[in-house]
Amino acid sequence: MSLGQFPENLSMDEVDLSAFNNAKRDFDLIVIGSGPAGQKAALTAAELGKNVAMVEREPLAGGVCLNTGTVPSKTLREAVLYLTGFRERGYYGEDYRLSDKITSSDLLQRTSLVIKLERDVINQALAFHGVTRLVGTGRLVGPHEVAVELVGHETIHTADNIILGVGTKPRRPADVPFDDINIFDSDAVFGRENDLRPLPASMIVLGAGVIGIEYASMFSALDIPTILIDPRPNPLSFADNEISAVLYEQLSRHKVELIFGQSYKGMKIKGREDDHRAIVEVELTDGRTVKADNLLFALGRIPMTDTVNAKGVGVEVDKRGNVVVDGSYRTSVPSIWAAGDVIGFPSLASTSAEQGRVAALNALGMVATWHPDSIPYGIYTIPEVSMVGKTEWQLVEEKVPYVVGRALWRDTARGKIIGDMTGALKMLFHKESKRLIGVHIIGEGATELLHIGQSVLHFQGGLDFFLQNVFNYPTLAEAYKIAAHNAWSQMRGFPVPTQTLVEQVFEIGSVADWAKSAM
């Protein structure tokens, strides 16, 4: 049995520990955590010929991203879109369904397969590059020492440098009666206790951040009446205001009741805790009471700094528990570095992986550069939202002169062909230099299309690129040229519509209405 392979068909007590966590060994680098940050850090160092160990408490690598977070939820989203026929409803009408009866096993069948395939890729990469797998709970015991405990068996390993990539776990406040059947968190959605079987007749999602709003949109696409609650007036305040407003309007039109600016005062499960038909009641701070079959609690995640004894060895953490790092991802302890969700915002799989790469290179004394100003953000709601660069309110605050170019999916032939008449693109250009400084998209393919704008922004391109280049026809990418012409017209003094993006997007209504008006 090699150190790069852990037998998936064995339980912990059946594993010969001597084949894994042997006596004390010295490494160039020890990485704690096998999520995107840990994987990339370990592989980066191993590719440079360094002796690297990865500590992971679970026998299967991948962390939350692979096992309970990003990969499962995005796979579930695709299953929802396919089985409900949601993508085609705009063209064929809101009553269109691919399947009248969708079960939880229908939704989760694809998820388990994708997780397995992705895990195989990770394990093969780690084994190929000679990364030593240390299975168990990692704990810092010094600036260069990591204790790895597995089923009461502990070994100490040393390294020149250590990288923390331990990620986060869902908040589970004591006043929330979690039973992982009627009330559960995002990690428990794919757990053994609650696998969404049977599908609930109604849902409450408490927390409208990225995780909560993504799941709310999936429940909505499944035609499950959903109540989305968040104490903030605008939960996606980091996104462009017009884009988030279009998203909120879309959700409202698809059976999602939005209650923003209110939190929970208390909640209870009425009926037996093991009864799937029990009702969850939530009392809000304004005195209202809302009810549903199930509740997904998604009000934040907690960095797992305590589990690794970060403060115990002098690593500084902030009031939220996030590890404090400098620009090179070094902590207050010179030999300890940190990357990924454990250091806080933006907590994206893509940025975590890049942070892990940069942290590893810096730890090895090499020059590491990256470009945080052109980080893409993706929110896998239905519809997708994606962005890069500045938002309009940032430019207003910074007193930067700018022009907005807008285009709607229905302005393109491709938008009409696929039936997405509510998608939109918004580009921000510097009014004087005409450089691109922000791209914001909502609609089908948003997270893929964004990379066109990201590339132009990164290489300091601007309006001329979009005006002078050819885009395939018919594609949604043509929206870039349309938006560029919209911005160019404004720069030349031509009058432009004064409607907000929400008013422009929903002026005609659904694609079915558009199709009727076009006949």
The reply to whether 176 and 293 lie within a common domain is yes
Q: Is the pLDDT of residue 9 over 70?
A: no
Considering the domain boundaries, does residue 145 fall inside one? yes
Considering the domain boundaries, does residue 74 fall inside one? no
What one-character DSSP code corresponds to residue 200? P
The reply to whether 316 and 432 lie within a common domain is no
Residue-by-residue DSSP string for 313-354: GT--B-TTSPBP--TTSB-SSTTEEE-GGGG-TT--HHHHHH
Q: Is the pLDDT of residue 27 over 60?
A: yes
Domain CATH number, residue 497: 3.30.390.30
The reply to whether 248 and 368 lie within a common domain is no
Considering the domain boundaries, does residue 162 fall inside one? yes
The reply to whether 432 and 482 lie within a common domain is yes
- Does the reported pTM lie above 0.85? yes
The reply to whether 258 and 227 lie within a common domain is yes
97-119 pLDDT, tens digit each: 666 677 777 777 788 888 888 88
pLDDT at 91: 67
Task: Tell me if residue 357 falls in helix, strand or coil.
Answer: helix
* Mean pLDDT, residues 130-148: 93
% of the chain beyond a pLDDT of 70: 87
pLDDT at 359: 95
The reply to whether 328 and 475 lie within a common domain is no
The answer to whether 439 and 453 have CB atoms below 8 angstroms apart is yes
Distance CA 146, CA 163 (A): 11
Q: Is the pLDDT of residue 78 over 70?
A: yes
CB environment 240-269: b (16+ within 10 A), e (fewer) = bbbbbbbbbbbbeebbbebbeebbbeebeb
Decide which of 319, 347, 372 is a domain's last residue: 372
The reply to whether 353 and 415 lie within a common domain is no
Considering the domain boundaries, does residue 4 fall inside one? no
The reply to whether 160 and 21 lie within a common domain is yes
481-495 pLDDT, tens digit each: 999 999 999 998 887
CB contact set of 96 (below 8 Å; sequence gap of 6+): 85, 88, 89
**Boundaries of domain holding 122:** 12-66+108-169+302-372
C-alpha to C-alpha distances, 358 to 35, 65, 341, 391, nearest whole angstrom: 15, 19, 15, 26
Domain CATH number, residue 223: 3.50.50.60
CB contact set of 194 (below 8 Å; sequence gap of 6+): 180, 181, 184, 188
The reply to whether 176 and 165 lie within a common domain is no
Distance CA 22, CA 157 (A): 9
Tell how strand 424-430 and strand 436-442 pair up. antiparallel
CA dihedral 78, 210, 460, 411 (to 10 degrees): 50
Considering the domain boundaries, does residue 306 fall inside one? yes
Decide which of 299, 320, 342 is a domain's last residue: 299
* Mean pLDDT, residues 122-131: 90
Nearest by Cα to 81 from 219, 200, 209: 219
* Mean pLDDT, residues 142-165: 92
The answer to whether 56 and 64 have CB atoms below 8 angstroms apart is no
Q: How many domains does the chain have?
A: 3
The reply to whether 182 and 165 lie within a common domain is no
Considering the domain boundaries, does residue 404 fall inside one? yes
**If you average pLDDT over every residue of the chain, what do you get?**
86
pLDDT at 20: 44
Residue 406, sorted as left (phi over 0), alpha (psi -120 to 50) or beta, turns out to be beta
